[in-house]
Amino acid sequence: EERSTDDLWNEGKETIIKVAAKTIKKKTNKSSNWISDETLKEIKHRREIKPRRFDSPVDEALYKKQNAKVQKMMRKDKERYIEQQCEKIEENAAHNSTKELYQSVKKLTKSFKPSADTVKSENGAVLCDRDDIKERWKEYCSKLYKRNEKLPSFHVELSIKEPEPPPLIEEVIEAIKDLKNDKSPGADEVTAELIKNGGPKLQELVDRPIENVKHFTYLGVVFTDTYDDSVEIKRRIAIAKNATVALTKIWKDRNIRLTTKKRLLASLVFSIATYGAECWSLKQSDKKRIVSFELWCFRRLLRVSWTEKKTNEEILQRINCDRRLTDMINERKLEFIGHILRRDHHLDNVLLTGMVYGPRGRGRPKTRYWDDIRQLTGLGVKEAIRLAQNRIKWRRLVKRATASHPTQ
């Protein structure tokens, strides 16, 4: 009896994880100490005089003075530490060093999260055993998605085209060799290093027929069969909002300057929201969504509640931002397209500047990438190609087209 692809993969995945757990040592992360040596000396001195603080009014005043000094020094150390982390994040984002970037982000955003490994049964009893928990989830999901026989069923005949042939085993081996190391695993917890060292049997397991899907995630970006960037924009904004909420402790801290908070917002939040933004085709609704998200972040940073009835103009005047988020996205798009247009006879250049012959479908055409470039620069494809060959003139055009208007 031939086994299904899911059964073979689940068995292979469990084998890989068990072998890796026995042979590979788990990496321990050491938390960095942001308190300086001078502050540690003052803390030690405060600890020495603390037992004598109730002996006399002079000792109590001395302890209070020392305590205030320690608190002030710790605030400065924390400010300096956050500034250093912001510089690292900005440098890693500029050099596209994603691993170091997310490590720095994790240092500032991670917090204690208690694990909850228990669920309740249908009768209300607490289940702790892993097998019982799996059975309970299976029972819950089967009941949740049980088909209602009273509803009418519809049967639609679809014309299915001949599928493409599956990839060759040689192509699969080459694809496995090209996998990048030090990347986070997916939901199956199998890393690229484990797949590379799995041997011929694992290569044969990976070389199984796959099904067509309406969307999939590749390199952190969602691709859909409708080529609609709105799905990815909504997803990016949702992830960035979670990062903003995770930094609530920093937004509430009155000892951190507004300038530092703005750098943290740009480094930790806006960098997440604009990941891959240079390839977006922005519709008017997408632009409004991005502006709304930016103002939501500013209100979180300034701790302004919706009950205070503050207008967006007042928020922008208080935040005093130099660049708007939409201007940053447009600047990245123009810099990216200028780089592509200077790559003559390359595949990415041909894909962006080439023409597709044949009749188009009915209805209004969707917003294309070149529509955004034409709206920003006022140039057609041929004029943009000629101007992009001169870097200096193209940079002037980018600067002029993305001139920021902070209060708009």
**How do strand 221-224 and strand 215-218 relate by DSSP bridges?**
antiparallel
- Asked if 181 and 216 count as a contact pair (C-beta separation under 8 A), the reply is no
Position 217, amino acid: T
The continuous run of DSSP H or E covering 218 comes out as: strand 215-218
346 within a domain of the structure (yes/no): yes
Per DSSP, the three-state class of 224 is strand
DSSP state of 308: G
On whether both 298 and 337 belong to a single domain, the answer is: no
- Closest Cα to residue 391, out of 328, 348, 331, 339? 339
370 within a domain of the structure (yes/no): yes
On whether both 317 and 235 belong to a single domain, the answer is: yes
- Asked if 334 and 279 count as a contact pair (C-beta separation under 8 A), the reply is no
* Contacting residues for 352 by C-beta, under 8 A, at least 6 apart: 337, 340, 341, 369, 370
On whether both 338 and 397 belong to a single domain, the answer is: yes
β-strand partners of 217: 222
**Structure confidence at residue 187 (pLDDT):** 63
- Asked if 271 and 89 count as a contact pair (C-beta separation under 8 A), the reply is yes
Phi-psi region of 85 (alpha: psi -120 to 50; beta: other; left: phi over 0): alpha
* Residue reference for tokens 């193209």: 394
On whether both 334 and 352 belong to a single domain, the answer is: yes
The continuous run of DSSP H or E covering 94 comes out as: helix 57-94
Q: Where are the alpha helices (DSSP H) in 183-254?
A: 192-196, 200-206, 230-246, 248-252
225 within a domain of the structure (yes/no): no
On whether both 286 and 337 belong to a single domain, the answer is: no
Q: With the C-alpha atoms ordered 304, 307, 308, 312, is the resulting torsion angle positive or negative?
A: positive
**Structure confidence at residue 296 (pLDDT):** 92
Domain edge (last residue) among 91, 111, 127: 91
Phi-psi region of 304 (alpha: psi -120 to 50; beta: other; left: phi over 0): beta
Q: How many Å apart are CA 408 and CA 323, to the nearest integer?
A: 11
Interval 360-390: pLDDT, tens = 778 888 888 888 888 888 888 888 888 888 8
12 within a domain of the structure (yes/no): no
303 within a domain of the structure (yes/no): yes
**Structure confidence at residue 199 (pLDDT):** 78
109 within a domain of the structure (yes/no): no
306 within a domain of the structure (yes/no): yes
Pull the structure tokens for residue 141.
Answer: 């999901």
192 within a domain of the structure (yes/no): no
**Structure confidence at residue 312 (pLDDT):** 86
**Structure confidence at residue 30 (pLDDT):** 46
On whether both 267 and 338 belong to a single domain, the answer is: no
**Structure confidence at residue 293 (pLDDT):** 93
Number of domains in the chain: 3
Compute mean pLDDT per 10 residues along the chain, 408 residues long, and list them: 71 80 65 76 90 87 91 86 77 71 69 66 79 85 72 53 69 82 73 80 70 76 82 90 86 80 85 87 89 92 86 87 84 88 81 78 81 85 86 88 61
Please give the backbone phi and psi of residue 156, each rounded to the nearest 5 degrees, phi first.
-115, 130
* Contacting residues for 11 by C-beta, under 8 A, at least 6 apart: none
On whether both 293 and 339 belong to a single domain, the answer is: no
On whether both 236 and 309 belong to a single domain, the answer is: yes
Per DSSP, the three-state class of 98 is helix
Please give the backbone phi and psi of residue 158, each rounded to the nearest 5 degrees, phi first.
-115, 140
Position 314, amino acid: E
On whether both 281 and 240 belong to a single domain, the answer is: yes
Q: How many Å apart are CA 343 and CA 85, to the nearest integer?
A: 35
Range of the domain at 305: 230-321
**Structure confidence at residue 31 (pLDDT):** 45
On whether both 280 and 338 belong to a single domain, the answer is: no
Interval 224-280: pLDDT, tens = 877 888 888 999 999 899 888 888 888 887 777 788 788 888 888 888 888 888 888
- Asked if 303 and 254 count as a contact pair (C-beta separation under 8 A), the reply is no
Per DSSP, the three-state class of 99 is helix
On whether both 340 and 307 belong to a single domain, the answer is: no
Q: Cα dist. 400→76, 261, 353, 404 in Å?
A: 39, 28, 23, 9
On whether both 271 and 350 belong to a single domain, the answer is: no
pTM for this prediction: 0.58
